[in-house]
Amino acid sequence: MDLSTTYLGMKLKNPIVPSASPLSRSLSTIRKLEDNGASAIVLYSLFEEELNLESQTLDRYLSEGTDSYAEALSYFPEAPSYHAIGPDSYLEHIHRAKKAVDIPIIASLNGVSTGGWIHFAKQIEGAGADGLELNIYYLPTNMDLNGAEVERIYFDLLQDIKAEIKIPVAMKLSPYFSATAHMMKKLDNLGADGLVLFNRFYQPDFDLENLEIVPHLVLSSSVALRLPLRWIAILYGRLNADLALTTGVHTAEDALKGVAAGASVIQMASELLHNGVGRIGEILAEMSDWLDEHEYESLDVLKGSLSQVNCGFPAAFERANYLEVVRSFSPTFK
């Protein structure tokens, strides 16, 4: 079965791409990811704070949600195995990863402000990265900051990065914009090569006994798939940028749904962290079996078949779906 796909201008053997996570900190695990079928790897994120900790331009960002980033270091267990290593080591890791495997290596920067740190993207390109994923999450707690100003942060960041490098750039985003479709279209127009939907937000918990706010990591489940699935289906066929689905992918069925919605690649992390990197090969085999049983010639034939532009009932992606779900529910009381 032909499972090949194209993402960020790169021909990949299949759509399964491990997303940014602690798994990519070890070269041995990177090799195992390739051996088990990963078609590309997104490296763990290097944080803006690690590059520009003392910059005054970051003061308000550091005080408005440092621990809200989807890969905030304090949210991962066993901190010694997921510690900040700094920019020089990150560049060396890219260089070694490229030598260790034959699949594309996509670097990841986690930041939100414009400033001198973005010039590090040029060094990432020089280290041999095949692409760059900008993992962006900014929590706008400033009550004087309006929606247009928040969006401008993302636009400026993309433009500044694109001015620095020639390798493809993907934007990993949250769903929390007042006009999500317009936001994605604008980023597409500004030159984003890919859109990764969606960034998971790790919310802090409250410790009532000690009256403390504590980090709390909960890995995703397949239920989380529905939000990115819906938006990818809405956006497919309307943008030039490739679409990547992340969050909630745990089974072959999840991955196939993502492709049917219109995703070029399916990013995974929680399933691999929980059940091991061997799950990639199992999921790929199950995807092939399903496509064969349903008489598909290739994965590409399935792509976008359930998107809004190809759906016989396009209103199902909007308010009509809400109405139908509500009306179809019948509560049962004992």
**Would the pLDDT of 68 be above 80?**
no
| CATH code for position 311 | 3.20.20.70
For residue 216, what pLDDT band results from cuts at 50, 70 and 90? low
End-to-end CA gap in the chain:
49
| pLDDT of amino acid 128 | 97
| pLDDT of amino acid 152 | 92
| pLDDT of amino acid 83 | 45
For residue 110, what pLDDT band results from cuts at 50, 70 and 90? confident
Between residues 9 and 311, the one the model is more confident about: 9
Query: 33-42, 119-128, 211-220 — which one is most confidently predicted on average?
Result: 33-42
Q: Residue 84: how many CB atoms within 10 A of its CB? A: 13
For residue 23, what pLDDT band results from cuts at 50, 70 and 90? very high
Neighbouring residues of 64: CB distance < 8 A, sequence distance ≥ 6: 139, 140, 141, 142
Q: What is the pTM of this model?
A: 0.84
Residue 205 lies in a domain: yes
CA atoms within 13 A on the CB side of 167: 20
For residues 19 and 199, what is the distance between their CA atoms, to the nearest angstrom?
11
| pLDDT of amino acid 82 | 39
| pLDDT of amino acid 322 | 60
For residue 326, what pLDDT band results from cuts at 50, 70 and 90? low
| pLDDT of amino acid 85 | 55
Residue 226 lies in a domain: yes
For residue 304, what pLDDT band results from cuts at 50, 70 and 90? very high
Domain that holds residue 243: 5-328
Residue 334 lies in a domain: no
Query: 54-68, 127-141, 215-229 — which one is most confidently predicted on average?
Result: 127-141
| pLDDT of amino acid 102 | 98
Could you write out the DSSP letters of every residue in 120-159?
HHHHHHHTT-SEEEEE-------TT--HHHHHHHHHHHHH
Reported as a single tens digit per residue, the pLDDT across 257-296 is: 999 999 999 999 999 999 999 999 999 999 999 999 999 9
Tokens of 160: 């500044």
Region 140-160: mean pLDDT is 90
Residue 333 lies in a domain: no
Residue 272 lies in a domain: yes
Indicate the DSSP class of residue 257: H
Region 170-180: mean pLDDT is 93
Question: Across all residues in the chain, what is the average pLDDT?
Answer: 86
Region 78-95: mean pLDDT is 70
What sign does the CA torsion over 223, 299, 134, 93 have?
positive
* Domains identified in the chain, total number: 1
Cα distances (Å, whole numbers) of residue 172 to 34, 59, 73, 319: 23, 23, 18, 26
